[in-house]
Amino acid sequence: MFGQIFWLEFLVIILIFDPATFAEQNHEDHDLETERTANATNTLNLLLNSHDKRLRPKFGGRPVTVYVDLYIVDIGDISVTNMDYRMTMYFRQTWEDPRLRFNGTSQIVAQGDLLDKIWIPDTYFNSEKRSNFHEITKKNYVLIFWPNGTVFFSIRISVTGVCRMKLRKYPMDSQKCELNIVSYSYSEADAIYTWKRGHEHSIEQAPDISLPQMDLVKIQSSETTDVYSTGNYSRLSLTFTFKRRLSLFITETYIPSIIIVALSWISFWINYKAAPARVALCITTVLTMITLTAAVQNSLPRVTYTKYSDWILMLCLVYVFGALVEFAIINFHDSLETRKKDKLNRKLRNVDVEKGVCDGEGGDLKTKYLQRQLSSLREKIKSFGEQDINVQRIDSRSRILFPLTFLMINLMLWIYFVIDSAED
């Protein structure tokens, strides 16, 4: 049974791939391929032999129009400290070179050392720090020649572009980074750059571009002319708008700062007589807050203006410092009272002794006077017990006042941030 099926399958395979017809087809294909290769080689040799790569197409005549379009493969590494970003793209330029017209029906896709043999626009990226051209596994470029003289040149490059960031609204900022495409030697009289499919459609991007800290909101493109003393130059520009994700700041900085501030409030519940415990707690929170602020500052460039994050961190620092100051006030108050109390007690004892002496002598007037003084002193001392309650009242008020005002100022700051950052 199994053997029969096997032979049947074998027969079917032989019928489908008849070696005789297969070979014939192969032979025909081979001939055609050889002829086409020979024709293309001939054409390229003919084109390149007479080609002067030093001179632009239509030399001395109309300017050559370079049509540009690009595909963004990836955007990443937006660095706040270096104020730059990195982008990898397929950069495509199309232009017409009448010298490269040939007789034929289809385009020629060429590779190899052609880059050095034909005229190619000297395009460069203004506002770029460094760029590199990829050469693995071969130089990543392609040149396509059409019979009507149209040349298509696509290249894969990575560009590190400068992005002048304004950080006043950090961490609720959005950044605009611009990349300009210009010709180095050709003014408008010689070369004009335009987007190949209009402003909107000339830029494509990979669907899965995602940045760790920012969202790519939009990419805008425009065409302008720059006027220099050497002439007018055609320029294409590309503007990326990035919006920072707030969540990172919230989880890494804001929540820890709030916890530290709340920690400093715990000291209001600790008895003011336990000075070492309260001082240790307050000073630890102040130091931690300073360390946290320094960590945030180090991750950002040094700028002279105040950022949103500075306001928040400054507020937290003021509050933890406030808790320390509150304790200092209580402690000072307390020691002052103790000293006064000691003084009164001493006086009381003196008066008491004096009264005892007077009682023995029987001086009626003086005894009465001392009696009065004694009772007024006793009253004063009793009122000191109430002073102690006063000191504790500062603590119990702070327990409500500190969190309440902190919450309110925070709320006000965030409302201001939201309104202010929505302005642009």
Ligand X SMILES: *[C@@H]1O[C@H](CO)[C@@H](O)[C@H](O)[C@H]1NC(C)=O
User: Shortest distance, CB of residue 202 to ligand X, whole angstroms?
Assistant: 15
Whether the Cβ atoms of residue 193 and residue 68 lie closer than 8 Å to each other: yes
Distance between CA 315 and CA 161 in Å, rounded?
Answer: 36
Decide if residue 349 touches ligand X (CB under 6 A): no
SS3 162: strand
Q: Which is nearer to ligand X, 21 or 105 (CB)?
A: 105
Among 35, 200, 215, 342, binds ligand X (CB under 6 A): 35
Which of 102, 321, 369, 384 lies at the binding interface for ligand X (CB under 6 A)?
102
Q: Is residue 103 near ligand X by the rule CB under 6 A?
A: yes
Angle at 17 between CA 15 and CA 19, to 5 degrees: 105
The order of strands in the sheet holding 174-183 is: 123-126, 174-183, 231-244, 214-228
Q: How far is CA 133 from CA 70, 124, 136, 154, 158, in A?
A: 15, 12, 9, 12, 7
Interaction residues for ligand X, span 128-187 (CB under 6 A): 146, 148, 150
Q: Which residues within the stretch 188-247 sit at the binding site for ligand X (CB under 6 A)?
A: 227, 231-232
| CB 43, min distance to ligand X, A | 7
Q: Does 96 bind ligand X (CB under 6 A)?
A: yes
Beta carbons within 10 angstroms of residue 152's beta carbon:
16
- Is the CB of 114 or the CB of 279 nearer to ligand X? 114
- State how far the Cα of 300 lies from the Cα of 305, in Å rounded to an integer: 12
- In the complex with ligand X, the residue whose CB is nearer, 225 or 335, is 225
Q: By C-alpha distance, which of 389, 357, 355 is closest to 372?
A: 355
Binding mask 38-57 for ligand X (x = CB under 6 A): -x------x-----------
- Span from 35-43, 59-67, 111-119, 400-408 in contact with ligand X (CB under 6 A): 35-43
Give ∠ CA 109-112-113 in degrees, rounded to 5.
Answer: 125
Least distance (Å) between residue 205 CB and ligand X: 24
Q: Is 404 in the site for ligand X (CB under 6 A)?
A: no
Question: Residues interacting with ligand X, by CB under 6 A?
Answer: 32, 35-36, 39, 46, 96, 102-103, 146, 148, 150, 227, 231-232
